[in-house]
Structure 1
Amino acid sequence: MKSLQHLPDNDLIHSFQAGNQAALELLINRHKEKIFTSILFMVKDKYLTEDLFQEVFIKIIDTLRSNRYNEEGKFIQWALRIAHNLCVDYFRKIKRNSIISSDDKDVFDLLNLTNESADTRIVQQQTRQKLHLMLSCLPDEQREVIVLRHFADMSFKEIAKITNTSINTSLGRMRYGLINLRKMMVENQIVL
């Protein structure tokens, strides 16, 4: 029998449903960074992200335990859709479009930046801050597609499914988002 680490997501789900808690832990660890990152980019608040992240996995666990999980798609797409819906629900609840965090840390701090000189780290930190600021200035739809494409490594087909839009709409949002980022870079004389 294969070790759990080499099992595909659907096999881990079946193993968890059969009572193997280690399978769930591995499944969560396998996808937690992508899910956390996508939530953080939507809500821009680390503590809120942690709360929503927990809610996502509570919903996932409840669905898996009650055998309501549908295996038609990939697990990560389904989990990201849950995360997206929870973020939308949160924004509807507070009737605001965005949250600006005063927290110094952001999703870019999740990147490993070890073994570099101090000046390189400073330049990279400034670059991350500039990029984060420019992304936060984009319309929500454009920012969401850019985050899902470049930080969650999703295809446009997956993005279209998660955002409940067509592939062409997702491509258009990406195109306009990148055009807007380039304009901001030129206007502010920013070189990344």
Structure 2
Amino acid sequence: MLADNELVERVAKGSDASFAILHNRYRKKVLGYICMFIRRQDVAEDIAQDVFVKAYRSLVEGAYHDSGKFVPWLMRIARNMVIDYYRKDLPISIEENSAIEVKLRGMSTDDSPEKAIIRKQQDRCLRMLVDELPKEQREVVILRYYIGLSFKEIADFTDVSVNTALGRMRYAIINLKKRANVLERF
């Protein structure tokens, strides 16, 4: 049985069979990881396939430099693709009875077309503000409000302590409020 680093070298030299071995070796692990965050099997499978396509291209192009960490590298690709999936036009889940939820509860889906347009503009503005956050803060916001993870799950996912995840969220909210206030003045 060949080690990952040997297979990676062979893939870089053009061996598709070596990549097939890596794919078979780690497909379930990558798919299982993605399924923890994406509840739809068909979508999770598509993302897993994209992970392996991206990994293959990186290996063939020589963008991956083997340091004996193929699996963590592969899982990082999966992690980024899950985050990218949720950054697309998916709604942010808001905690029940939060100030925002109470405010939004009064707006029904039967609102006038004008209110629907305003809500859509607000969603786009919020996405823009989230995209402007520093990487670590943006990641915590996406994991919490788009994916709905607990802070313990966020800490595990990002490989930081729960307190660090909470701190990043705190600073993200502060930065979002500051930026929203600046925009509101204009």
CA distance in 2, matches of 1:84, 1:141: 16
Match of 2:52, as an amino acid? F
CA–CA distance in structure 1, aligned partners of residues 73 and 51 of structure 2: 10
Deviations 1:45-77 (A, max 9, x none): 100011101110111011001000032351111
Amino acid at match of 1:86: M
Q: Is the 2:11–2:18 contact (alpha carbons within 8 Å) kept by the matching residues of 1?
A: yes
User: What are the within-5 Å matches in structure 2 for residues 89-100 of structure 1?
Assistant: 89-96=84-91
Shift in CA distance, 89/141, structure 1 to aligned 2, threshold 3 Å: farther
Structure 2 stretches lacking a partner, 5+ long: 94-146, 167-186
**CA distance in structure 2 between the aligned counterparts of 1:79 and 1:170, rounded to whole angstroms:** 27
Q: Find the partner of 1:61 among 56, 59, 72.
A: 56
Partner residue, 1:45:
40
C-alpha change, 1:32 and 1:141, in structure 2 (3 Å) is farther
Q: Indicate the SS of the match to 2:88.
A: helix
Work out which of the residue numbers 121, 134, 149 in structure 2 matches 1:140.
Answer: 149
Q: Which runs of 5+ in 1 are unaligned?
A: 1-5, 99-137, 146-158, 174-192
- State the partner residue of 1:112: none
Q: Residue 52 of structure 1 contacts residue 87 of structure 1 at CA under 8 Å; is this kept in 2?
A: yes
| Cα pair distance change 1:141/1:80, threshold 3 Å | farther
* Cα contact 2:151–2:162 (8 A) shared by 1: no
In the TM superposition, residue 143 of structure 1 has moved relative to its aligned partner by 7.2
Larger Rg: 2
Give TM-score scaled by structure 2 length: 0.52
Question: Once the 2 structures are TM-superposed, how far is the Cα of residue 12 of structure 1 from its aligned partner?
Answer: 0.2
2:62 alignment partner, SS class: coil
Equivalent residue in structure 1 for 2:70, among 61, 75, 87: 75
Partner Cα distance (2:163, 2:4) in 1: 26
Q: Could you list the runs of 4 or more consecutive aligned residues of structure 1 that deviate by over 6 angstroms after TM superposition?
A: 170-173
**% same residue:** 29
Shift of 1:142: 5.1
Distance 1:24 1:170 in 2: 39
Distance in 1 (alpha carbons) for counterparts of 2:76 and 2:68: 11
1:36 aligns with 2:31: yes
